[in-house]
């Protein structure tokens, strides 16, 4: 089966330059629906679902291949090879920031720019490194997913969205989480929340933008600053948006930050 079918690849837009938008854990390509229209007149847009997520072919999900973030980076590289993509702008949300970083190291010609939204190279605290979670937190999260997936989604959605005054954002995100296969989602969660790619950040040489929101319970500000300090020449933008999903909660600001970076207006 082609990557195009396996990963439910969507190609839109008219530009010569390509932007690849990569969704985070628990999501699919539909999370970019309020961002894409701002760019499709000037860029070619590639959207996809990681194997096991969204409308991908879940029968092709392999526990072995996706036992680390490298397996998800392979999805990115397979899609790029099939669509003959090189020198793209890669926009990765959350765990996709690190998946994109891995792909950029493995295939140096793949990206001209790497844009990370709410990145974290390690979610677990480790000595002086504050990732935001203790091991017990993650174990509880994984146990909850196993025992009652819908209750887990109900618990996680408001923590992630952090926009209490806009409850519709939380309920919509809860719905997105509930559309996942619970078994695959739990495995993806374990891979995501126990990953540690801190030692690979120094190998990222592509120009990188880190977009960090305030009050992010998943990737705290100090984590974004850590990524910024370990990727040579990277740029860091602290957004006004709150929560872990600014592309959903604050699309206008997200579009503006992306535009400013891509046109060089913030340099």
The set of catalytic residues is 94, 216, 244
CB atoms within 10 A of CB 251: 18
Q: Which tokens hold the place of 61?
A: 């999900």
How far is CA 217 from its chain centroid? 15
Burial of 30 (0-12, 13-18, 19+ CB in 10 A): middle
d(CA 85, CA 175): 33
3-state secondary structure of 236: strand
């Amino acid at each position: 089966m082609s990557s195009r079918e396996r990963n439910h690849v969507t190609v839109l837009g008219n530009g010569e330059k390509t932007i690849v938008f990569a969704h985070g854990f628990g999501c699919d390509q539909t999370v970019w629906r309020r961002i894409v229209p701002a760019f499709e007149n000037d860029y070619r847009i590639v959207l996809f679902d990681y194997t096991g997520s969204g409308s991908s072919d879940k029968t092709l999900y392999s526990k072995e291949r996706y036992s680390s973030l490298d397996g998800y980076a392979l999805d990115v590289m397979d899609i790029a090879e099939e669509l003959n993509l090189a020198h793209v702008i890669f926009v990765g949300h959350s765990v996709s920031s690190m998946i994109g970083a891995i792909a950029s190291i493995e295939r140096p010609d793949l990206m001209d720019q790497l844009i990370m939204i709410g990145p974290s190279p390690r979610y677990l605290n480790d000595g002086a490194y504050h990732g935001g979670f203790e091991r017990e937190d993650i174990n509880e999260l994984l146990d909850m997913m196993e025992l009652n997936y819908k209750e887990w989604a109900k618990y996680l959605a408001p923590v992630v969205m952090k926009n209490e005054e806009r409850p519709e954002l939380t309920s919509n995100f809860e719905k997105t989480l509930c559309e996942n296969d619970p078994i695959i989602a739990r495995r993806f969660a374990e891979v995501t929340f126990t990953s540690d790619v801190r030692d690979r950040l120094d190998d990222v040489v592509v120009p990188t933008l880190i977009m960090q929101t305030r009050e992010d319970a998943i990737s705290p500000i100090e984590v974004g600053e850590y990524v910024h300090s370990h990727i040579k020449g990277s740029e860091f933008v602290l957004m006004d948006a709150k929560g872990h999903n600014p592309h959903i909660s604050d699309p206008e600001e997200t579009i503006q930050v992306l535009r400013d970076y891509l046109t060089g207006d913030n340099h």
